[in-house]
């Protein structure tokens, strides 16, 4: 499933999510992106809110997101924290030495 944010003139954001295999009512948020020129204007928050509304209608229990622990992903982790996603697990050195995988979740 994908949701798209539009500004009337074109695509400004994208969100891709779907059911997590072998689970009951658990979903993964695979990708969320917004155009650089609209960052900080609520496009990402709107996409996540629309996704969550869709998943509530589908009786989802948990949404899972995976991200990196590197400094470059600090703003990404801050965004998810602002949307009430919390760290559920961390796999040390997952992507490479010194780059942990962080699993964030939100219960609906």
- Full-model pTM: 0.86
Instruction: Tell me the CATH number of domain 2-107, given options 3.40.630.30, 3.20.20.150, 3.60.21.10, 3.30.390.10.
Output: 3.40.630.30
Indicate whether 102 pLDDT > 70.
yes
Alpha carbon separation from 29 to 16, 33, 37, 59, 103 (Å, rounded): 6, 11, 23, 16, 11
pLDDT digits (tens, 9 = 90+) for 31-69: 999 888 888 889 999 999 999 999 999 999 999 999 999
Half-sphere exposure of 54 (CA within 13 A, CB side): 17
**Domain ranges, ordered by start, for the chain:** 2-107
Round to whole Å and give the CA distance between 13 and 35. 6
**Of the candidates 20, 36, 47, 27, the residue with the CA atom closest to the CA atom of residue 75:** 36
Checking if the pLDDT of 2 tops 70, the result is no
């Amino acid at each position: 499933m994908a949701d798209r944010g539009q500004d009337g003139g074109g695509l400004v954001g994208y969100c891709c999510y779907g059911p997590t295999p072998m689970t009951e009512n658990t979903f993964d948020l695979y990708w969320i992106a917004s155009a650089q020129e609209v960052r900080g204007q609520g496009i990402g928050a709107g996409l996540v809110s629309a996704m969550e509304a869709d998943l509530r209608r589908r009786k989802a229990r948990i949404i899972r997101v995976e991200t990196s622990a590197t400094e470059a992903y600090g703003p990404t982790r801050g965004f998810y924290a602002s949307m009430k996603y919390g760290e559920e697990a961390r796999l040390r050195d997952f992507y490479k030495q010194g780059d942990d995988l962080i699993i964030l979740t939100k219960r609906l």
